[in-house]
Amino acid sequence: MLNKEPSKTGLLVTIGLLIITWVVTIWLFHYLTDPQTRSEIFGFNLAFICFLEFLAFGYFAGLFIPNFRKGVVWALYPVIGIIIGLYIMVSVITVVGYNFFPIFVSSPKAYFTTLAVETLFFLILLSSVIVLNVYKKVEDTEIERERKRLIDLSVKVQEIYQNFLNCKEFFTIQDFRDVEKDIRKLKEKFQFCAPFGRSNSEVANLEEEIQNQIVSLGKLVSTISSTKKEELGRLLENIKHLTAVTLQAMERREKLLIK
């Protein structure tokens, strides 16, 4: 995450540069033209150039606005920059062409129509990218949620495995090895399986069942140290059975995902 202080500083610097650019632009417009020779659209040209400068600096200002950064898919941000850059370039060419080379754009009506069409194309392109950004952001958020869900489950299984290792002293070597092997296999399954929550309802139901089994398995393992010696055998069988059932459910899920 971008640090708040550099973000604030960068934003203030960008705004400061924009204000300076506006001041210089306004000064140049008035300094390089005589009041008597200014056209009727002098004010419009000045305002339009200032608007283009706002777009240019606004694009870079977005880098320093945390909420904006969170809402943008960064693979698309350069595309937005290209669209804005092309619009500014074409618009500047149109303004210069009308004011200094009227042979290309000979009348105010043609001038405003050209700018309107350019702006329309710009808005259409920018809107398309924004729609794509919204779709991609929702998709990325869902993928991140699924990844976190899988990580949480994987961490839970690792905790179960570690807790069982810590209870080695309560069982015979053979009993411990039999169950440890299955829990380790389950732990490895979660390390390399596909994210949960990205499939059809049949798989989703199976995934919910697996999660419930993991929770139950964790509870069983956590009771080992407090279980009476004569009841450890039954508890170990329950752990072994639940581990085997969960492994089978994971294997069924893998087969369903392949279909």
pLDDT tens digits along 60-80: 998 888 888 788 888 888 999
- Are residues 67 and 153 located together in one domain of the fold? no
- Are residues 59 and 96 located together in one domain of the fold? yes
Look at phi and psi of residue 199 and say left if phi exceeds 0, alpha if psi is from -120 to 50, else beta: beta
Q: How far apart are CA 60 and CA 6, in angstroms?
A: 14
- Encoded tokens for 34: 């005589």
- Are residues 98 and 170 located together in one domain of the fold? no
The pLDDT-based confidence of 256 (bands split at 50, 70, 90) is confident
Q: How far apart are CA 164 and CA 239, in angstroms?
A: 10
- Are residues 252 and 196 located together in one domain of the fold? yes
What does the mean pLDDT of the chain come to? 85
Which residues make Cβ contacts (< 8 Å) with residue 87, sequence separation at least 6? 55, 118, 119, 122
Query: Which one of 99, 114, 139 terminates a domain?
Result: 139
- Encoded tokens for 105: 């754009």
Query: Which one of 116, 139, 162 terminates a domain?
Result: 139
Its sign, for the CA torsion 93, 94, 99, 103, is: positive
Domain that residue 236 falls in? 142-258
Give the single-character DSSP code of 60.
H
More confidently predicted of 169 and 3: 169
CATH value at residue 160? 1.20.5
- Are residues 105 and 153 located together in one domain of the fold? no
Which of 2-6, 26-30, 224-228 is the least confident region? 2-6
- Are residues 16 and 91 located together in one domain of the fold? yes
- Are residues 9 and 32 located together in one domain of the fold? yes
More confidently predicted of 165 and 195: 165
Classified as helix, coil or strand, 252 is helix
pLDDT (0 to 100) of residue 250: 86
- Are residues 63 and 164 located together in one domain of the fold? no
- Are residues 102 and 163 located together in one domain of the fold? no
Answer whether residue 199 shows pLDDT above 60: no
- Are residues 251 and 146 located together in one domain of the fold? yes
Q: How far apart are CA 3 and CA 9, in angstroms?
A: 10
One DSSP character per residue, 69-138 reads HHHS-TTTHHHHHHHHHHHHHHHHHHHHHHHH-TTTS-SHHHHHHHHHHHHHHHHHHHHHHHHHHHHHHH
Looking at the structure of the chain, the number of domains it has is 2
Query: Which one of 82, 117, 139 terminates a domain?
Result: 139
The pLDDT-based confidence of 106 (bands split at 50, 70, 90) is low
pTM of the model: 0.65
CA distance to 99, 167, 183, 209, 253, per residue, from 161 (Å)? 77, 10, 6, 19, 22
